């Protein structure tokens, strides 16, 4: 049987993680994110985790080969036999080519791109606030605290994480557009690309993804 491989594409803040959780529950497929791969390999101190750690200790990003090797180790496990969801991989054309060399002939693949305009991403991410004391999340417009700058729960100060500053968000979007977005063309040529609207509420995006996957699994 061909494994069903669902690749989630989209800018940071498009809701890939949320959708991956939904698909994972709906279709009983494991969700594989590169963040989790790194955490698992570091925690279990695997040989590849040790290699990754050497780069991270130097403050460098682990190269493609390491990410690819972690992924290939992971998809050999029993729970991936029927398929799996990839969230955050591939991130570049060379990663997609490596994946195709490995599974392209044997897997049934769909790439779902969650489309959200840049300005909406900036508003979503740079509006996020978190309580310094208790960690409760807020949002300037979507989930504002009762009193500006103050946590509803504990009265602590609300702050913006450095990762959520507008400058950092715009830089991440630039990286997405230059390195990751070309994957849409890559999968379109293979007739595996589906675009869904991520600029609407979460439930509508879920419904669009479900429609896509019903066809995919048929
Ligand atoms: Zn608080």
DSSP string, 131-189: ETTT--EEETTTB--SSTTB-TTT-PBEE--GGGSHHHHHHHHHHIIIIITHHHHHHHH
Q: Say how many Å lie between the CA of residue 170 and the centre of ligand 1.
A: 28
Residues 81, 3 contacting (CB under 8 angstroms)? yes
CATH of domain 4-29+82-116+174-217: 3.40.50.300
pLDDT for 166 beyond 90: yes
Q: How far apart are CA 123 and CA 139, in angstroms?
A: 10
Mean pLDDT across the stretch 170-181?
A: 96
**pLDDT tier for residue 105 given thresholds of 50, 70 and 90:** confident
Token pair, residue 199, equals: 């600029």
pLDDT at position 62: 87
The full length of the chain comes to 218
Q: Say how many Å lie between the CA of residue 56 and the centre of ligand 1.
A: 32
pLDDT for 1 beyond 80: no
What are the residue numbers of the active site?
Answer: 16, 91, 128, 161, 172
Mean pLDDT across the stretch 148-152?
A: 96
Q: Say how many Å lie between the CA of residue 81 and the centre of ligand 1.
A: 43
Range from 52-66, 79-93, 135-149, 182-196 carrying the lowest mean pLDDT: 52-66
Q: Say how many Å lie between the CA of residue 158 and the centre of ligand 1.
A: 8
| pLDDT tens, residue by residue, 21-75 | 999 999 999 999 998 999 999 999 999 999 999 999 998 888 889 999 999 999 9
pLDDT at position 37: 94
Nearest partner of 193 among 181, 175, 205, judged by Cα: 181
Domain boundaries, the chain: 4-29+82-116+174-217
Mean pLDDT across the stretch 156-161?
A: 96
Mean pLDDT across the stretch 114-123?
A: 96
């Amino acid at each position: 049987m061909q494994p069903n491989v669902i690749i989630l594409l989209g800018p940071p803040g498009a809701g890939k993680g949320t959708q991956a959780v939904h698909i994972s529950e709906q279709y009983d497929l494991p969700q594989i994110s590169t963040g989790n791969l790194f955490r698992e390999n570091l925690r279990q101190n695997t040989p590849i985790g040790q290699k990754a750690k050497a780069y991270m200790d130097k403050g460098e990003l682990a190269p493609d080969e390491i990410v690819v090797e972690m992924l290939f180790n992971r998809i050999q496990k029993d729970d991936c036999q029927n398929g799996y969801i990839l969230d955050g991989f591939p991130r570049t054309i060379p990663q997609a080519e490596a994946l195709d060399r490995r599974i392209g002939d044997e897997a049934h693949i769909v790439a779902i791109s969650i489309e959200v305009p840049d300005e909406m991403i900036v508003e979503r991410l740079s509006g996020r606030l978190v309580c310094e004391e208790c960690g409760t999340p807020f949002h300037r417009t979507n989930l504002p605290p009762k009193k500006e700058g103050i946590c509803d729960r504990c009265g602590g100060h609300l702050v913006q994480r450095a990762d959520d500053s507008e400058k950092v968000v715009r830089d991440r979007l630039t990286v997405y557009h230059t390195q990751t977005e070309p994957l849409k063309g890559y999968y379109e040529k293979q007739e595996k690309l589906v675009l869904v609207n991520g600029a609407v509420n979460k439930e509508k995006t879920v419904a669009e993804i479900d429609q896509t996957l019903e066809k995919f699994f048929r």
